[in-house]
Amino acid sequence: MIVRHGTGLKRAIELFILRNWALILTVIVTEQAIVLLSRYTRVLETDVFSATAIGLIATVVGIFIVFRFNESYQRWWEARILWGALVNQSRSFAREVGTLLTPERVPKLGSGPEANEFQTELVHRHLAFCNALRISLRGQDSWAELAPFLAADELAELQGFANKPTRLIRSQGDRLAELIGTEVSQQLLLMRFDATLSSLYDVQGGCERIKNTAFPDEVRLISRSLVWLSAVAVPIAFLSADRHIRAIELLAVVVICLSFMVVEQLGASLNNPFENEINDTPMTALCRTIEIDLRQQLGDKEVPPPIEPIDGVLM
């Protein structure tokens, strides 16, 4: 995700050119080709693209682009909201583990060291869940990254499950059910943790819904086709007026068409917020934030540093 701090004007321009150089080149070549065709041939001698026609085309293009961008931005923003909720729910889970799961409330926990070991196990498994969700949403296969948080046998067993985040939450519930007794007070604790684990499933399900629900290809095809139609029609309209296009008019055409295309491509980029692109949800950084917060709640003095933006981009 591009962040505000660390991205100056120079870097913003560099990112724009780096991501859109092919598009910029294509637009310039297209407009120049139209100018050359009009200058040396009679192919483009037409009055079809009048000012009224161009206005209608621009209106339709604007409608489709705005629709697509709004829908894509909504998906992108919902993904960010879900991961923000995961951060807060992770903090709540660690707090509940540290304050509610004590030997006084749950005698089966044993002595203080045994209780601390169990609390650490739950928190580390939760960190494994957050990272497993990140890996799963990005379609990666780097499950070895979970090794610092899980026992070797549990990590090996996890490989046999198709949905690893789901399995990790189930393991949390199983471990809690093993230790919490049948007394009313302990059952209330179990209900509290069950609600927290269910809220984590809600976050996971929301992310998977965004990941697995494809944006209609028809909208993408129509909006992109209309954008290119405008890129061809606008300069022809200038030519139709006086059979000559001035440099300033050509520059205006390039800027207008390029603006349409960049916004359309930005909508396409925001449409899939879990693909590890520069505009996507910074899940790696958020997982590190969760890890730092939860390990400090456990009393760890040495925690990894936060993930910092690289050239204004946070992943």
What residues have CB less than 8 Å from 138, skipping those under 6 apart? Answer: 274, 275, 276, 283
In a domain, 310, yes or no: no
Q: Into how many domains does the chain fold?
A: 1
Per-residue confidence (pLDDT) for residue 188, from 0 to 100: 87
For 161-165, what is the mean pLDDT?
96
In a domain, 45, yes or no: yes
From CA 294, how far away is CA 287, in angstroms rounded? 11
Per-residue confidence (pLDDT) for residue 46, from 0 to 100: 56
Which structural domain, as residue segments, surrounds residue 188? 29-297
Per-residue confidence (pLDDT) for residue 111, from 0 to 100: 77
In a domain, 10, yes or no: no
> Is the sign of the CA dihedral 161, 77, 305, 292 positive or negative?
negative
* Phi then psi dihedrals of residue 255, to 5 deg: -65, -45
Split at pLDDT 50, 70, 90, the class of 19 is low
Taking each helix axis as running N to C, give the angle between helix 217-242 and helix 247-270, from 0 to 180 degrees, rounded to the nearest 10: 180
pLDDT tens by residue, 242-267: 556 666 666 777 777 777 777 877 88
For 187-204, what is the mean pLDDT?
93
- What sections of 101-163 are H helices per DSSP? 112-137, 152-158
* The pair of three-digit structure tokens given for residue 290, joined into one six-digit string: 């969760």
Per-residue confidence (pLDDT) for residue 179, from 0 to 100: 84
CB–CB of 206/274 below 8 Å? no
CB–CB of 289/87 below 8 Å? yes
From CA 141, how far away is CA 250, in angstroms rounded? 48
Higher pLDDT, 198 or 313: 198
pTM here is 0.84
b/e burial code for range 252-288 (CB count within 10 A of at least 16 → b): ebbebbbebbbbbebbbbbbbbbebebbbbbbbbbbb
From CA 123, how far away is CA 294, in angstroms rounded? 7
In a domain, 53, yes or no: yes
% of the chain with per-residue pLDDT over 70: 79
Split at pLDDT 50, 70, 90, the class of 279 is confident
* The pair of three-digit structure tokens given for residue 295, joined into one six-digit string: 């390990």
pLDDT over threshold 70, residue 127? yes
In a domain, 17, yes or no: no
The residue among 147, 173, 143 whose CA lies nearest residue 159 is 143
In a domain, 235, yes or no: yes
pLDDT over threshold 60, residue 34? yes
In a domain, 306, yes or no: no
b/e burial code for range 145-182 (CB count within 10 A of at least 16 → b): ebeebbeeebbeebeeeeebbbbbbebbeeebeebbee
C-alpha count within 13 angstroms, C-beta hemisphere, residue 139:
8
CB–CB of 253/238 below 8 Å? yes
pLDDT tens by residue, 197-236: 999 999 999 999 999 987 777 777 777 777 777 777 776 6
Per-residue confidence (pLDDT) for residue 222, from 0 to 100: 76
In a domain, 312, yes or no: no
